[in-house]
Amino acid sequence: MEIVIRAENLRKQFGDVQALKGISFSIARGHCFGFLGHNGAGKSTTMRMLYGLSTVDHGYLQLLGEQVKLTPPHLKRRLGVVPQEDNLDPELSVMENLQVYGGFFGLSYRQARERGRELLDFMGLSGKENANVEKLSGGLKRRLVIARALINRPSIVILDEPTTGLDPQARRLVWQKLRTLKAGGVTLVLTTHYMEEAAQLCDELVIMHEGEVLAEGSPAALVTRHVQPYVIEVHLPREQIPPDIVEKAAAFGGEAEQMAHALFLFSKDGKKLWQSLAELGLPQHACYLRGAHLEDVYLKLTGRGDNLI
């Protein structure tokens, strides 16, 4: 596989705050690579290095075959950037927003309009070209920001929290468009704190926490590597959880962990553990058996929740 982005030991400091603490990763052409983490984990700092809003002070960054300290203009022309904010020009129409942006990449008025129509059709915005941006819904604005990022036919699209604030239907529509881009050979670099988004879109991802990479791999591989395949969520107040639950769960082949203010019992045999709830001292009505997923991995690795047991 051709590697289009490679980073080794990237570090970044802002005053006394160390935003990145030596992260490394590589991204293959045509893949969707995700950075999963909470706000402040270092995701956006990494993205700003990629698209040239921040310098590489320490470490090594190679972009499209070139080592970079600050991404130069000739490489920026091959990138599409979807920022967290919908930074559209409210005084311009939908099409005018695309035309102006196309001009930054050397497109003529006619070329920008032709390309703009293609993108509006692709993003499901046909018929909106003369609409005022301020009158668009949040979902439509987000799709327009993505369309704008594609005006220069980029080979890599960087998406910083692309679906934050969208309702589930709008989010899934954006996911489908991103899958179509990837199928066409475009490399996607995605930051998100939505576990389902990462699982749905990413071929590979890193889980970041406080400027460090805690784990890397495909969503399925991370689940297999870090948690057992079944989990029972227990929703009880702390005082109603048996004090010896760790030992009791272990006796039935389970592993008890308190994460995000709820008790989780992991097991290779979910059915067996479920049938043992009474012996564990747990009421069935407060329990839920399901397959383990990426959110379990994230909570376990980052410690996002008090350990109460």
Q: Among 85-89, 154-158, 296-300, 305-309, which range has the highest average pLDDT?
A: 154-158
The CATH number given to 3-218 is 3.40.50.300
What local confidence, expressed as pLDDT, does residue 238 receive?
Answer: 87
What local confidence, expressed as pLDDT, does residue 115 receive?
Answer: 97
Q: Residue 21 pLDDT more than 70? A: yes
Q: Residue 304 pLDDT more than 70? A: no
What local confidence, expressed as pLDDT, does residue 303 receive?
Answer: 76
- The string of pLDDT tens digits covering residues 28-80 is 999 999 999 988 899 999 999 999 999 999 999 999 999 999 999 999 999 99
Name the residue among 74, 184, 93, 190 with its Cα closest to residue 140.
Answer: 93
Instruction: Kindly indicate whether the domain formed by 227-302 is annotated with CATH number 3.30.70.980.
Output: yes
Q: Tell me whether the CATH fold assigned to 3-218 matches the one assigned to 227-302.
A: no
Q: Residue 108 pLDDT more than 60? A: yes
* pLDDT above 70 as % of the chain: 98
C-alpha span between 260 and 195 (Å, rounded): 15
* Structural domain boundaries in the chain: 3-218, 227-302
What local confidence, expressed as pLDDT, does residue 116 receive?
Answer: 96
For residue 117, count other CB atoms closer than 10 A to its CB: 15
What local confidence, expressed as pLDDT, does residue 260 receive?
Answer: 67
Q: Residue 146 pLDDT more than 60? A: yes
The two structure tokens encoding residue 261: 């203010």
- The string of pLDDT tens digits covering residues 154-182 is 999 999 999 988 889 989 999 999 999 99
Q: Which of 19-33, 73-87, 291-305 bottoms out in mean pLDDT, i.e. has the lowest?
A: 291-305
- The string of pLDDT tens digits covering residues 42-56 is 999 999 999 999 999
Q: Residue 309 pLDDT more than 50? A: no
C-alpha span between 95 and 131 (Å, rounded): 8
Q: Where are the alpha helices (DSSP H) in the chain?
A: 43-50, 73-76, 94-104, 109-122, 138-149, 168-183, 195-201, 219-226, 245-251, 270-275, 277-280, 294-302
Q: Sheet holding 32-36: strands in order across?
A: 79-82, 156-160, 187-192, 32-36, 204-209, 212-217
- The string of pLDDT tens digits covering residues 237-290 is 989 999 999 999 999 999 999 886 789 999 999 999 999 999 999 999 999 999
* pLDDT above 90 as % of the chain: 86
